[in-house]
Amino acid sequence: MFWRTSSPLDADDEEWQLDCWGWLLRHFGGAAALRKRSLILPTRAFFTPSEEQGHAAASHYFGQVAAYFGIDAARFNLVPQQDSIDPVLGPLQVLQDAPREPAGTFSVSRGGAMTITYNPAIVPKPMKLIATFAHEICHPLLFSVPEEPPGGTEMEEFATDLAVTFFGFGIFNSNTAASFTQYRDTATGTQGWSFE
């Protein structure tokens, strides 16, 4: 039989997810509001492709994501991060364990200005870019709740990931959770598959 009869999660993780879903339902309109939400899909019916590149393309997609949350994109400063370090230094030199920039970040200044940054390397990957923007937009929504998520502040990132699904963007998160890509590294003479 191909069907599993038990959860793929361990008991503690399953209990936390159920508690977190309850927490999200309590603070974001309950089951009635959840039923009214759309499942946001990676199709042209939901997202018009950008004719631009770089920051203009990122802004284009960010505006569409913000609209699905019912939030004015102008409330945020959208800022590209600095380019990541290129680990290939030369034909025989590759920097091992080079630091990698996060896909995105969210911050609030003392004056209340909200900033979302994104890694420019993901702009040509709209699925990952949209997943990143949905995640970062969820941060201020969750911070607006006076009650901490189940498990406290150390579980905020996990609660934010779950909120992405709650607000309709779960397919983007699941489709970008891991990706396999073929690579060829001329500096080291290697080729194969990489996992990200």
Residue 149 has pLDDT above 90, yes or no: yes
Q: What is the pLDDT of residues 101-144, one digit of tens each?
A: 678 899 999 999 999 999 999 999 999 999 999 999 999 999 99
Q: What is the pLDDT of residues 79-90, one digit of tens each?
A: 999 876 565 666
Domain boundaries of the chain, sorted by first residue: 11-195
Mean pLDDT of 86-105: 65
Mean pLDDT of 63-75: 96
Mean pLDDT of 56-80: 97
Residue 22: band (very low, low, confident or very high) from pLDDT cuts 50, 70, 90: very high
Bridge partners for 76 per DSSP: 114
More confident: 45 or 12: 45
> What angle separates helix 126-143 from helix 156-166, to the nearest 10 degrees?
110
Return contacts of 108-116, CB within 8 angstroms, 24+ apart: 108/140, 108/143, 113/77, 114/75, 114/76, 114/77, 114/140, 115/76, 115/77, 115/78, 115/79, 116/62, 116/76, 116/77, 116/78, 116/79
Residue 100 has pLDDT above 80, yes or no: no
pLDDT at site 195? 42
Max CA pair span of the chain: 60
Cα–chain-centroid distance for residue 193? 23
Q: How would you label 146-157 residue by residue, b for 16+ Cβ within 10 Å and e otherwise? A: eeebbeeeebbe
- Taking the C-alpha atoms of residue 26 and residue 22, their distance in angstroms, rounded to an integer, is 6
Mean pLDDT of 144-152: 95
Residue identified by tokens 């870019």 is 129
Determine phi and psi for 146, rounding to 5 degrees.
-70, -20
> What angle separates helix 156-166 from helix 11-27, to the nearest 10 degrees?
60
Q: What is the pLDDT of residues 150-192, one digit of tens each?
A: 999 999 999 999 999 999 999 998 887 655 455 566 666 655 5
Return contacts of 93-101, CB within 8 angstroms, 24+ apart: 93/187, 94/185, 94/187, 94/188
